[in-house]
Amino acid sequence: MEYLFDFERLEVYQLAVRHAVRIFEITEDFPRRVQSSLGDQLCRSAVSVANNIAEGSGKRSWKEKSRFYTTAFNSARECVPAVTIAHERRYLNDAVRLEMRENVGRLCSMLARLEQSVRRTN
């Protein structure tokens, strides 16, 4: 794959994009009555992770970078309650719930390390 922007090379960004794409696939199967609430919230949270990584990577100051990476971290965590609710309502099976939780866990771990590296280089 050819990368035009520096953030596209980041493994955490690539995972965030794959996670968001997967969330969109999953929420397509949600009942119509919850697609515009629970489904949209889950999609917005997932997209926000990738968006904040991209935006943060372009900031010059470590404080701004840190702020955007922290926002990406928090957006990833926002996915957990939505996934839990979707699972409890039986919109997601156990395997998909586990997949989503593992993705979020990995994203959070990677984002925490990214944010810490920004602070250390200051």
Per residue in 4-47, pLDDT (tens digit) is 999 999 999 999 999 999 999 999 999 999 999 999 999 999 99
Q: 40, 97 in Cβ contact below 8 A?
A: no
Question: CA separation (Å) from 107 to 20, 46, 75, 77, 115?
Answer: 11, 11, 10, 9, 12
Residue 115 belongs to some domain of the structure:
yes
Residue 3 belongs to some domain of the structure:
no
> How many domains are contained in the chain?
1
Which CATH number do you get for residue 60?
A: 1.20.1440.60
Residue 25 belongs to some domain of the structure:
yes
Residue 1 belongs to some domain of the structure:
no
Among 7, 15, 10, residue whose Cα is nearest residue 79: 15
- pLDDT at 122 exceeding the cut of 80: no
Per residue in 45-100, pLDDT (tens digit) is 999 999 999 999 999 999 999 999 999 999 999 999 999 999 999 999 999 999 99
Range of the domain at 51: 8-120
